[in-house]
Structure 1
Amino acid sequence: MPADNAPRVHLETLGCRLNEAELEGWARDFRRRGCRIAAGDEPADLLVVNTCAVTAEAVRKSRKLLRRLKRAHPGARLVVSGCAASLTDADLGDARIDLVVDNADKDRLVEIAADTLALPLGTGPDPDAADALFARGRQRAFVKVQDGCRYQCTFCITTIARGAERSRPLAEIVAETNAVAAAGVQEIVLTGVQLGGYGRDAGSTAAPNLAGLIAAVLRDTDIPRIRLGSVEPWDLPEDFWQLFSDPRLMPHLHLPLQSGADTVLQRMARRCRTDAFARLVADARSAIPDFQVSTDVIVGFPGETRGEWRQTMDFVAATGFSHLHIFPYSPRAGTRAAAMAEQVPEAVKRERARALHEVGAVLKTAALSALAGHTLPVLLEGDNLDAAGPYAAGFTPGYLPVRLRGAPADAVGRIVPARLLRCTDDAAALEARLDTAASATMPPDPGAATRPAQ
């Protein structure tokens, strides 16, 4: 453990799961340099923020976060990285930033910060692979497998901010997964900017494709649950669905749709049309029981007509997604879409987003209700409280939220059999109780002996 007087580092991130994976890596590196990861409102000596720039709103939230952290920790040094920090036109405000680390150098952020700011960092004991994760109240580990993207969707600033595709060696991914599993982590999420492009970059020492990566993690690790981050619908390798025959690979996929109108998809330079998307979802549901699909939809893309918008509403409703991430279109300087004619008025975007949120709520309620009466293994990730009382929050294998009432005191971080009862009154999750009869037949919890007390 770090000394009581060790430098205290406060870490924050916005945006995607890849940002979270990078933050976890920085936390481990800071621990190796003798630092202590500050939790919650604990005073900090160093602030490190991984920003987001996927929309103008994300940049605004990044600025707001930087200002808030500097107010809360006025004497702390501030290091900023991420997509908003890597774009030359991004305005990060007046938060008195001490160091900006470009995305291209973020894997060396701790080293760069120590040298540039002359930080009093030393060498600490090799940290437990998950101690910083648990200290931040997280139970699921995000494992970065690649970065960058070769495609040029007309709305996307990420290609500019993240650069070319770069895959991580397979041996490193397996080693990290084994390390967090040995430390008591029950679930990992394999994540990247273009996950389906894993191993495709020239000269990579990684596995040949995403299927090879998943097969190796299933074969060479004992992690109980494996999830995938967002995967573009045109990037799934052959025989992909067969991998889900291993129950450790969770039956959920986030497939970005972006629009349900082929004419809009063409203007976006997307490589998948609605008929191919629908076949993909049908194939998944046919091959894998209770498979759940979530998606992204951009509202009000330039030139989007009322008819195109209706096509999106109809396609989303017919597909039956378990969850929608809805983004009103945000012009990003440097992208082709920002210069397109017929930009949709903000009021129209807001109204279309509101209508789509209503559709999403109906679809989510249907997905939740379909599981009522089932018993499923749920990873409990934290304690919470609502009007009905305390509960442990978790997710089903298909990544549907659960509120488990009457959970044991040591339940957080464990996979337990949950009897799913009904939707909550706010239709946000499934009410559940512990299925004690099923507990006797569940396989032993492989992390119970190593997981720290909560």
Structure 2
Amino acid sequence: MRVRLQTLGCRLNEAELETWAREFQAEGHRLVDAQEEADLLVFNSCAVTQDAVRKSRNLLRKAARENPEAKLVLSGCYASLNPGEAESLGVDLVVANTEKHRLVEMTHERLALPTMPAHSTVPGESALFRLGRHRAFIKVQDGCRYRCTYCIVTVARGEERSRDPAEIVDEINRLHGQGIQEAVLTGVHLGGYGSDNGSNLTGLIRTVLDQTRIPRLRLGSLEPWDIPDDFVGLFADPRLMPHLHLPLQSGSDSVLKRMARRCKTAEFAQLVDRLRRSVSDINITTDLIVGFPGETEAEWQETLGFVKRIGFGRIHTFGFSPRQGTAAAVMPGQIAGDVKKIRSRDLHELAESQGGAFAARYLGQTLT
């Protein structure tokens, strides 16, 4: 059977998609790029913003229109939060986030998929490497125990669940043997790894570095409050890439309080200073939400000023999107769309300037 996989949203969704790709291939199915060629369409959806929900709906409608004969499987946060709506759009199987690890198995059971005796790739060949990819996203945990007031993902993903370190090491070694050169550890709350099994992220990273020969190891998004004092010592191993994505979300302490964030700006600045003093050429990137409810002009100027003082290699900018079921959706002082657009433009210009300055430091250098 010809299978097409597509995802929206976070790196964790990409990691899950890569796992499904390997599992479908192991069952003898062939991965295809063109939607109209597929017998089975699998979507990993997103619901982090209302725009992501709209895109998820549009993908489903487009799939049904362009390939009405194909079976359609939907998973991800949109599917978990809106299973009835998804089914009304012609989805044959909805797989909740809590069942994602069984998606391929459930697809076979519920949709009676045929299997083929021959694999669609050479045994031991990675589907990613075959497609020219040298980086793989490794899902190490799911769920989040925190409840930031704007975030619906914690509702959609559920409680924290960590994978066994030996299983993670085996996956990385297998992928490295298939040609993958870089592994990216990812999760909904990556810094919470081990909260349910007595371990921690620092220990996991040491285990991966000790028990694999993957040339490059990179980390997904980490909350700033999850980085202990001894964390910087991990970068003594040159295989751990000197890059941390630390979501700031706002440069105003009063806004951070309304967001229920656990890190104040002074603490964030101290962390960045410690990292830059300890890790040569570390690249610090971040996320920022524009137009959070009640954000005054003075608070917005605090954010711009803080960003200018810190300096980031890259900034992901998100206009606030009210998500039903979150505390922020019903907060007073919702910001008008035109104001969010102006602020987003100003932040984007600042981000482009800082990103260009960071990249310019390496002009003429050969990096390994």
Common fold: TM-score over 0.5: yes
State how far apart, in whole Å, the 1-side matches of 2:364 and 2:116 are. 54
1:328 equivalent in structure 2: 319
For residues 253-294 of structure 1, give each alpha carbon's deviation from its aligned partner in whole angstroms, at most 9, with x where no partner exists.
Answer: 100000000000000000000000011111111111111011
Q: Does 1:362 align with 2:360?
A: no
State how far apart, in whole Å, the 1-side matches of 2:123 and 2:10 are. 25
Q: Which runs of 5+ in 2 are unaligned?
A: none
For residues 144-191 of structure 1, give each alpha carbon's deviation from its aligned partner in whole angstroms, at most 9, with x where no partner exists.
Answer: 000000001000001100000000000000000000111111001000
2:128 equivalent in structure 1: 133
State how far apart, in whole Å, the 2-side matches of 1:127 and 1:156 are. 42
State how far apart, in whole Å, the 2-side matches of 1:118 and 1:209 are. 40
Query: What SS does structure 1 have at the residue aligned with 2:213?
Result: coil
For residues 403-438 of structure 1, give each alpha carbon's deviation from its aligned partner in whole angstroms, at most 9, with x where no partner exists.
Answer: xxxxxxxxxxxxxxxxxxxxxxxxxxxxxxxxxxxx
- Aligned partner (choices 11, 14, 35) of residue 8 of structure 2: 14
Cα pair distance change 1:228/1:240, threshold 3 Å: same
1:160 equivalent in structure 2: 155
Aligned-pair CA distance for 1:32: 1.5
**Which aligned pairs between 1:24-173 and structure 2 lie closer than 5 A?**
24-40=18-34, 43-88=37-82, 91-92=85-86, 95-122=89-116, 128=123, 131-173=126-168
Query: What SS does structure 1 have at the residue aligned with 2:184?
Result: strand
Give the letter for the 1:76 counterpart: A
Task: From the two aligned structures, give the one with the greater strand fraction.
Answer: 1
Identity of aligned residues (%): 57
Query: What SS does structure 1 have at the residue aligned with 2:174?
Result: helix
Q: Is the CA contact 1:32–1:124 (under 8 Å) kept in the aligned structure 2?
A: no
Cα pair distance change 1:324/1:129, threshold 3 Å: farther
Cα pair distance change 1:171/1:246, threshold 3 Å: same
Q: Is the CA contact 2:43–2:73 (under 8 Å) kept in the aligned structure 1?
A: yes
Deviates more, 1:236-245 or 1:225-234: 236-245
State how far apart, in whole Å, the 2-side matches of 1:209 and 1:332 are. 31
Cα pair distance change 1:91/1:352, threshold 3 Å: farther
Q: Is the CA contact 2:83–2:94 (under 8 Å) kept in the aligned structure 1?
A: no
State how far apart, in whole Å, the 2-side matches of 1:226 and 1:361 are. 26
- Aligned partner (choices 198, 207, 213) of residue 193 of structure 2: 198
Q: Does 1:244 align with 2:235?
A: yes
Aligned-pair CA distance for 1:128: 4.8
State how far apart, in whole Å, the 1-side matches of 2:18 and 2:122 are. 12
CA RMSD of aligned residues (A): 1.7
Cα pair distance change 1:253/1:320, threshold 3 Å: same
Give the letter for the 1:291 counterpart: I
Structure 1 residue ranges, 4+ long, deviating more than 6 angstroms after superposition:
none
For residues 121-152 of structure 1, give each alpha carbon's deviation from its aligned partner in whole angstroms, at most 9, with x where no partner exists.
Answer: 35655975652213444321000000000001
Query: What SS does structure 1 have at the residue aligned with 2:217?
Result: strand
Q: Is the CA contact 1:233–1:272 (under 8 Å) kept in the aligned structure 2?
A: yes
1:272 equivalent in structure 2: 263
Cα pair distance change 1:53/1:128, threshold 3 Å: farther
- Aligned partner (choices 306, 330, 346) of residue 297 of structure 2: 306
State how far apart, in whole Å, the 2-side matches of 1:285 and 1:256 are. 17
Task: From the two aligned structures, give the one with the greater helix fraction.
Answer: 2
Q: Is the CA contact 1:81–1:101 (under 8 Å) kept in the aligned structure 2?
A: yes
Aligned-pair CA distance for 1:104: 0.6
State how far apart, in whole Å, the 2-side matches of 1:328 and 1:90 are. 28
1:450 equivalent in structure 2: none
Q: RCO higher in 1 or 2 (8 Å CA, sep ≥ 6)? A: 2
Cα pair distance change 1:91/1:363, threshold 3 Å: farther
Query: What SS does structure 2 have at the residue aligned with 1:272?
Result: coil
State how far apart, in whole Å, the 1-side matches of 2:233 and 2:50 are. 39
State how far apart, in whole Å, the 1-side matches of 2:250 and 2:19 are. 34
Q: TM-score, normalised by structure 2?
A: 0.96
2:221 equivalent in structure 1: 230
Query: What SS does structure 2 have at the residue aligned with 1:375?
Result: coil
Q: Which runs of 5+ in 1 are unaligned?
A: 1-6, 378-454
Give the letter for the 1:336 counterpart: A
Aligned-pair CA distance for 1:39: 2.5
Give the letter for the 1:133 counterpart: L
State how far apart, in whole Å, the 2-side matches of 1:374 and 1:285 are. 20
State how far apart, in whole Å, the 2-side matches of 1:128 and 1:227 are. 27
For residues 339-373 of structure 1, give each alpha carbon's deviation from its aligned partner in whole angstroms, at most 9, with x where no partner exists.
Answer: 11111111111111011001001001100111112
Give the letter for the 1:67 counterpart: R
State how far apart, in whole Å, the 2-side matches of 1:130 and 1:347 are. 50
Counting matched residue pairs gives 367
Query: What SS does structure 1 have at the residue aligned with 2:37?
Result: coil
State how far apart, in whole Å, the 2-side matches of 1:358 and 1:230 are. 23
Q: Does 1:339 align with 2:361?
A: no
State how far apart, in whole Å, the 1-side matches of 2:22 and 2:293 are. 43
Q: TM-score, normalised by structure 1?
A: 0.78
